[in-house]
Amino acid sequence: MDDAFLAQLRCPIDPQRDATLTRDEQLLVCSRCRVTFPVKQGLPVLVPTEAELPAGTREVSQLPCQRAMNRRKNRN
Ligand SMILES: [Zn+2]
């Protein structure tokens, strides 16, 4: 996985699909919500079911990016 490829990837649980990911050993870390995704056999597994939430976060809906989406929804 090279940097150019990595730069194309986006966090799959970011509602706006514009949060980039950074490499951390065998994980990819979302630059926005800090959720991590595994890298298996050199390939990033960017599916919400494989996401590991940051410490202190119990569910996806508690993430800042998800709360921002909920706020927008409530305004409409
Ligand atoms: Zn994210």
Q: What's the pLDDT score for residue 35? A: 96
Cα(5) to centroid(ligand 1), Å: 17
| Residue spans per domain, the chain | 3-75
Cα(75) to centroid(ligand 1), Å: 22
Cα(10) to centroid(ligand 1), Å: 8
Cα(63) to centroid(ligand 1), Å: 8
Per-residue pLDDT tens over the stretch 43-60: 999 999 999 999 999 999
- Cβ 26 vs Cβ 59: under 8 Å: no
Cα(65) to centroid(ligand 1), Å: 7
Q: Please identify every stretch of the chain with a pLDDT value under 50, giving residue numbers as ranges.
A: none
Order of strands across the sheet with 21-24?
Answer: 21-24, 27-30, 36-40, 43-44
